[in-house]
Amino acid sequence: MGKFDIKQHPHRRYNPLTGDWVLVSPHRSQRPWQGQVEKITEQKRPKYEPDCYLCPGNKRAGGSKNPKYKNTFVFTNDFSALIKDTPDGLNKDADLFKAKSEKGICRVICFSPNHNLTIPEMEIEEIKMVIDLWIDENETLGAQPFINYVQIFENKGSVMGCSNPHPHGQIWAQESIPDLPLKEDNLQKKYYVEHNGNTLLSDYLKKELALKERIILETIHFVVLVPFWTTWPFETMIISKRPIPGISELSEEERYDFARAYKGLTILYDNLFEISFPYSAGIHQCPTDGDIHRHWHLHMHFYPPLLRSATVKKFMVGYEMLANAQRDITPEQAAEKLRALPDIHYKKK
């Protein structure tokens, strides 16, 4: 059978942030595809859409009217998944039918008044305003006595379930620490204790920066890379070089630099297949429960679904749903493809 080659042979990779494994099958990347092909819905959108619920001055689905905002705009979701005045309660049968009430607040952030302006096409100053608003909301929501975690995220593109094309993101703040951040909290804490106060991602970054194999781009304060353990084909992560627990600790200079990394990555995404690249992205940071979390290290995950082209996406079905996450294209191949792309948006060629 010869010697094992991680670039050619099936293997499993461990995610030290969650404790999960992913099956990597490099030999399958050349298999023919006769499955579902997505329709490309790329179209020129106007700067203002009179029927859009998120454009300035328009009436939203819930009946409220947006102000004629000029930059960013935030409001409480008209159809929130979490409600702050949910009454306390527990299911009486706490053995096999365990349930607990959950309080929370859901907010919507419009990145720009322009209906047709996504992050990769925005100016650095405009993206920095988005980051400033994230921080303001994080501090305001996190200060609520019943809020213990603030999840900032963005769904981009209809293929990711985005219900409105106007560029926007969301913030869900809640009583409990959700499952994935809780896994990351536990494993980062364990690593921090066992490695003399070094954060897991600090040590990981040192090794990645030395190898350069999975680095996509680097700014003064941030690194954008394809993690060794990625699940999605072109999954990436933005990691702060300084081991800060949460977004609120970013300095003014770091906020600008975060905007540069965010824009730089999303330009590469759009350039990959020359479309407005879909993804779900979100910030993972320390809880807001009042404890000290020096073991946490700020990072932002990007999970794009596209695999081979603008029309073929990765499906998480069968084995992935019932057994284990699996991927064909290796993280190293994905990083190489992204790194080789031009840093000027394809629309500006």
User: What is the residue-wise DSSP string for 236-284?
Assistant: EEEEESS--SSGGG--HHHHHHHHHHHHHHHHHHHHHHTS---EEEEEE
**Torsional class of 57: left (φ above 0), alpha (ψ -120 to 50), beta (otherwise):** left
Q: Which of 233, 235, 232 is nearest to 224 (CA)?
A: 235
Catalytic residue among 168, 295, 297, 299: 168
Per DSSP, what are the bridge partners of residue 280? 155, 303
**Would you state the pLDDT for residue 29?**
59
Per DSSP, what are the bridge partners of residue 196? none
Strands 299-303 and 236-240: antiparallel
**Would you state the pLDDT for residue 248?**
97
pLDDT tens digits, one per residue of 136-171: 999 999 999 999 999 999 999 877 777 788 999 999
Q: What is the phi/psi pair of residue 11, to 5°?
A: -160, 170
- Tell me 167's DSSP state: -
pTM across the whole model: 0.94
Alpha-carbon separation of residue 20 from 187, 230, 260 (angstroms): 11, 11, 31
H/E stretch holding 152: strand 149-156
Q: Amino acid identity, residue 32?
A: P
Task: Name the token pair of 221.
Answer: 């304060």
**Would you state the pLDDT for residue 43?**
65
**Would you state the pLDDT for residue 1?**
59
Q: Which of 61, 62, 163, 73 is nearest to 109 (CA)?
A: 73
In angstroms, the CA 38 to CA 273 distance is 13
Q: Amino acid identity, residue 295?
A: H
In angstroms, the CA 289 to CA 117 distance is 35
* CATH number, domain 46-348, options 3.40.50.2000, 3.90.10.10, 3.30.428.10, 3.40.30.10: 3.30.428.10
In angstroms, the CA 221 to CA 210 distance is 16
Task: Name the token pair of 290.
Answer: 């009042």
Tokens 């952030």, residue? Answer: 109
Q: For this structure, is 166 an active site residue?
A: no
**Would you state the pLDDT for residue 33?**
38
Alpha-carbon separation of residue 52 from 47, 80, 109, 158 (angstroms): 11, 19, 15, 15
**Would you state the pLDDT for residue 159?**
79
Q: Name the stretches of the chain with pLDDT < 50.
A: 32-35, 37-38
Edge-first strand order for the sheet with 168-174 is 73-76, 104-110, 168-174, 149-156, 279-284, 299-303, 236-240, 222-225, 215-218
